[in-house]
Structure 1
Amino acid sequence: MTRLGYGCAPLGNLFTALTDEDASAAVAAAWENGIRLFDTAPHYGLGLSERRIGEALRHRPRAEFTLSTKVGRLLVPSDGGGRDDQGFDVPATHTRVWDFSRDGVRRSLTESLARLGLDSIDVALIHDPDHHWKEAVAEAFPALAELRAEGVIKSIGVGMNQWPMLADFVRETDVDTIMLAGRYTLLDQSAAAELLPLCAERGVSVVAAGVFNSGILATHDPKGTYNYVPAPPELLDRARRMASICEAHGVTLPQAALAFPLRHPAVSSIVVGMRSAEEVRQNTALMASPIPEALWDDLAVVEHD
């Protein structure tokens, strides 16, 4: 996996719609800038993200990229009409149904492979099993282990916005990787004390997502949302103090937010959603820019306020 991965939720029209042309151009820019890790899910735009990334990668050498998708939400056809009500600007042609059963997992991956136009997936992630621990660990994980043995998938992972249940998966199964969203960032390092050392000990690779905490760290002038709700004033104040420290070192806040998770030895990659070719170029340029080591010592004071 490359250190910077492409999060494909925007390809599913997250919040606002993209044209097919803009989506294709964004993925082409990612490839041109060396990104070879792509993460998608049926949830993203009711399958639109999978269809778009599959088409964009169709003529790329299969051995040269890593693709992950997810299980846990089946897409069931719906004739209700209207628009999707879960943040994606797409017609509500399907309903998401939670399903971590063995049959549900196998069906989900079969349908994902059809949308992607592939015959195998590199990483299958159990997606948001927060309220489905028993089914996820007793049925979804064994089903993925069967598929791994059959060669349909290469690796098994779990992707969540919390760390305690991820730690349970690492302790109780032989997952290969986890996707940790928003819990190891400049503003939230709650996964640092227990989960990350556990992953390092067990040889489980960590992909950090949500490194901007949904937006507050995405610009050098912090604003917007924190974990998808309006950022509270105290967090805005912390982020602004961090931005001032970064500026004193000739660094922007987004640049520090991208670099921070990768400093931990357990973290192999970060995944960032990018809506356009220009965003891809901006983020790859930030990743390539050097950061003075002294910045981290100065930021640590604010990080632990």
Structure 2
Amino acid sequence: MSSPTPRGYAHRVPLGRSGVSVSRFGLGTAPLAGLFSAVSDRQAADTLEAAWAAGIRYFDTAPHYGAGLAERRLGAFLTGMGQPRSEYTVSTKVGRLLVPGDSIRGDDAFHGEPGLARIRDYSAEGVYRSLAESLERSGLDAFDVVLVHDPDDHWEEAVTGAYPALARLRAEGAVRAIGAGMNQTAMLTRFVTETDLDCVLVAGRYSLLDRSAADELLPACAEREVGVLVGGVFNSGILANPGPDAMYDYVPAPEAIRRRVVALGERCAAHGVALAAAALQFPLRHPAVTGVVVGARSAREVTVNVSHAAATIPEELWAELDVFERDGR
């Protein structure tokens, strides 16, 4: 497969000071592992093919996604292409080991996954085991970026176990960049200020509905040249499909959020801009943000996201949205 002519969303940019580069827009693979609804092998392959054809060269995955299903599907696609390994960048995560058993409550949002349970483990031994198993599942020879995944209630183990283990792997050249990925900003800010991370992946906390990452996390990353990847730009879907069944931060959207999304949509529509396009491009306005990671479960969703990524958004709309955020109306 040949690469398309470079476009804005497909441009590769440095990930902080790590020496790793990522396409400005990356593909998140949680939906390909059956998040909220099942996805077939063929549908997953078609989605990945569409992303590659669009010029996307950064892919984010994790053992958590479908209990290994996302890593297997992504790895099968990438290793089956015959493209040079330097053509693409892949990140995975550590902190959850997969063992035989049934999913526990809270991990059951994925459909069609194998009979494996997730066990939290942020120890150094857990990191080495997790990464070895991820390499085996994916068939890749290495991951470019490895992130500590959701250590919300495990700070001490993560900072004394997982982080030193990843720093050692980075020093040995086994991984090129290390970081942390979370749905909150406070602990990510601690990681940035108290350790030597290359990047963070912050989900849902720098969006049209929630700009909290701009308070402390993004300034800290800018000061220390830490790359910032932003996920969850649609806040679990409501900014892409604000229908009656819309989700917000993984749960049904509250009425107050629905009203806010309607107001945002009206402002975008007045400028002839899709709400989803504004949501997709919003994080890139901040100088500390390196790239955006967007999930997709079909080739059509990739096509729609790419169209939104390439849309022209007038500065007047951004100014209106900034005022809306500031004044709350």
TM-score normalized by the length of structure 1: 0.96
* Superposed displacement of residue 11, structure 1: 1.7
The range that moved more, 164-173 or 233-242, is 233-242
* Superposed displacement of residue 258, structure 1: 0.3
Query: In 1, distance between residues paired with 2:33 and 2:257?
Result: 29
* Superposed displacement of residue 90, structure 1: 2.4
The aligned residue for residue 170 of structure 1 is 192
* Superposed displacement of residue 222, structure 1: 7.9
The aligned residue for residue 8 of structure 1 is 29
* Superposed displacement of residue 223, structure 1: 5.9
Residue among 158, 166, 170 paired with 1:136: 158
Q: Given that residues 36 and 65 in structure 1 are in contact (C-alpha distance below 8 angstroms), is that contact kept between their aligned partners in structure 2?
A: yes
Question: Structure 1's 84 and 52: CA in aligned 2 closer, same or farther, altered over 3 A?
Answer: farther
* Superposed displacement of residue 151, structure 1: 1.8
Q: Given that residues 81 and 92 in structure 1 are in contact (C-alpha distance below 8 angstroms), is that contact kept between their aligned partners in structure 2?
A: no
The aligned residue for residue 62 of structure 1 is 85
Matched, 1:114 2:136: yes
The aligned residue for residue 99 of structure 1 is 121
Where 1:153 maps in the other structure, the secondary structure is coil
Query: In 2, distance between residues paired with 1:236 and 1:81?
Result: 31
TM-score normalized by the length of structure 2: 0.89
Where 2:213 maps in the other structure, the secondary structure is coil
One-letter code aligned to 2:71: E
CA deviation map 1:234-285 (0-9, x unaligned): 2111111111110111101000000100100111111111000010011001
Structure 1's unaligned 5+ residue stretches are: none
Where 1:97 maps in the other structure, the secondary structure is strand
Residue among 276, 290, 296 paired with 2:298: 276
Query: In 1, distance between residues paired with 2:97 and 2:297?
Result: 25
CA deviation map 1:183-236 (0-9, x unaligned): 000010111111101100000010000000001101366861111112111211
Question: Structure 1's 298 and 222: CA in aligned 2 closer, same or farther, altered over 3 A?
Answer: farther
The aligned residue for residue 227 of structure 2 is 205
The aligned residue for residue 53 of structure 1 is 74
Question: Structure 1's 84 and 204: CA in aligned 2 closer, same or farther, altered over 3 A?
Answer: closer
Where 2:210 maps in the other structure, the secondary structure is coil
Residue among 286, 289, 292 paired with 1:264: 286
The range that moved more, 91-100 or 262-271, is 91-100
Q: Given that residues 2 and 35 in structure 1 are in contact (C-alpha distance below 8 angstroms), is that contact kept between their aligned partners in structure 2?
A: yes
* Superposed displacement of residue 301, structure 1: 2.3
Residue among 36, 50, 53 paired with 2:57: 36
Matches within 5 A, 1:12-27: 12-27=33-48
Query: In 1, distance between residues paired with 2:224 and 2:180?
Result: 15
Q: Given that residues 242 and 261 in structure 2 are in contact (C-alpha distance below 8 angstroms), is that contact kept between their aligned partners in structure 1?
A: no
Q: Given that residues 102 and 139 in structure 1 are in contact (C-alpha distance below 8 angstroms), is that contact kept between their aligned partners in structure 2?
A: yes
One-letter code aligned to 1:44: Y
Q: CA RMSD in A?
A: 1.7
One-letter code aligned to 1:180: V
Question: Structure 1's 84 and 212: CA in aligned 2 closer, same or farther, altered over 3 A?
Answer: closer
The aligned residue for residue 74 of structure 1 is 97
Query: In 1, distance between residues paired with 2:269 and 2:141?
Result: 47
Matches within 5 A, 1:111-260: 111-219=133-241, 224-260=246-282
* Superposed displacement of residue 82, structure 1: 11
Query: In 1, distance between residues paired with 2:71 and 2:263?
Result: 39
Query: In 2, distance between residues paired with 1:262 and 1:295?
Result: 15
Question: Structure 1's 202 and 82: CA in aligned 2 closer, same or farther, altered over 3 A?
Answer: closer
Question: Structure 1's 67 and 303: CA in aligned 2 closer, same or farther, altered over 3 A?
Answer: same
Aligned residues: 304
CA deviation map 1:41-73 (0-9, x unaligned): 000111010000000111232101110000000
Question: Structure 1's 142 and 270: CA in aligned 2 closer, same or farther, altered over 3 A?
Answer: same
Query: In 1, distance between residues paired with 2:314 and 2:103?
Result: 53
Query: In 2, distance between residues paired with 1:199 and 1:35?
Result: 24
* Superposed displacement of residue 76, structure 1: 1.0
Q: Given that residues 45 and 77 in structure 2 are in contact (C-alpha distance below 8 angstroms), is that contact kept between their aligned partners in structure 1?
A: yes
Query: In 1, distance between residues paired with 2:280 and 2:113?
Result: 33
